[in-house]
Homo-oligomer: A and B are copies of this chain.
Amino acid sequence: MARQISDLKLGILGGGQLGRMLIQEAINYNLTTLVLDPDAEAPCKNIANKFECGSITDYDTVYNFGKKADIITIEIEKVNIEALEQLEKEGKLVFPQPRVIRLIQDKGIQKQFFKENDIPTAPFQLVHGKEDILNSIISFPYILKQRKDGYDGKGVMRINGITDIDRAFEAPSLIEELVDFEKEIAVIVARNPNGDMRTFPMVEMEFNAEANLVEFLISPSTYPENIQQKAEKIAIQIATALNITGILAVEMFITRNGDILVNELAPRPHNSGHQTIEGNYVSQFDQHLRAIFNLPLGDTRTLANSVMVNLLGEKGHDGVAKYAGLEKVMSVDGVYIHLYGKKYTKPFRKMGHVTIVDQNREKAIEKARFVQDTLKVIS
């Protein structure tokens, strides 16, 4: 018999909550998991078979770590690509492929990829510094994004006028026309090396304006079928063009006139898919494992309506985390708690999430509002 998933060692670059939830699924397949993370107290620390504290951006550290695994994946894009390319050359399976991570790491290259592949996206211009920005042809207000290392709202700012340019990033960036969107949505698509693809039903997101983080997510969307199909088609188009192995989260805008524009990509489990753990037949974490191990992809349909609430560290609290209101929210039926094993909280730190499942969409939303009002991460 060929080597089986249960014989293989999975190396994960990054030991945060995404790695943690991936490991929770990997346990079901007897997978041996190795994790590399620079934080000695990372969320994966106690549940990986082997946890290694070290830099995920350093060539030697990543290379030596990868040598110990049979198949390597990521839970964050900011990793050393050269080491992954070398490992791939030496015959290790690296999924998503290093060339995909390289493309997505750089929002400028990502945007160019959209343009070359006729993927609808907001008009943009690459810039190299303040001078370029001053000479941009895109009119105010617009969005300025650092090409690399931005995440969870970091490295993104709105430029309302010429005076804001003083605060602009000094790093290579891109300017993007402001999209007057009605809703942010996401579709997660999975693709295995056989080329099988399956999309999760489209979800709707609500953002915390202050932190620029997903705060609230509703699955499935209630947009008309044709809009949902269009979004799913775009996700499949991108996964095909990338020839990706693994899952790919595609964040999109629906504009006020019903157009869909792609915002950005994440080639890994993503915050917009957490509700799949309870709300769908297969979770995004299980699906990612199935994809990278070239197994049949799972059933992505929803079991019920679900709403995901991110548990962010409360403003004004910095220290050992406490979860006020936990018992109250647990007394509500269909409420699932996911704490990420982080000892310390700070304002807007992602400390966990809560999924609410209910056959009735309005009830699920109502319960989610209650969870948001009741459960607080304090110190």
Contacts and interface: CB of A to CB of B under 8 A. Distances in A.
Nearest to A277: B28
Nearest to A294: B327
A119 interface: no
Interface in A23-40: 24, 27-30, 32
A1 interface: yes
Nearest to A343: B30
A339 B296 contact: no
Given A295-B327, A330-B295, A357-B281, A1 B336 contact: no
Contact of A28 (B6, B29, B296, B338): B338
Contacts of A268: none
Interface in A126-152: none
A107 interface: no
A326 B4 contact: yes
Interface residues of A, number: 39
Contact of A339 (B28, B304, B327, B331): B28
Contacts of A20: 27
A155 interface: no
Contacts of A214: none
A281 B322 contact: no
B339 A29 contact: yes
B24 A27 contact: yes
B299 A6 contact: no
A101 to B, nearest CB: 26
Nearest to A32: B46
Contacts of A281: 333-334, 357
B299 A339 contact: no
Interface in A199-255: none
Contacts of A303: 303-304, 357
Given A4-B326, A27-B341, A28-B337, 18 more contacts: A1-B322, A1-B324, A6-B321, A6-B339, A24-B24, A24-B27, A27-B47, A28-B336, A28-B338, A28-B339, A29-B339, A30-B340, A281-B334, A295-B327, A299-B333, A299-B334, A303-B303, A303-B304
9 contacts: A1-B324, A6-B339, A24-B24, A30-B340, A281-B357, A295-B330, A299-B333, A299-B334, A303-B357
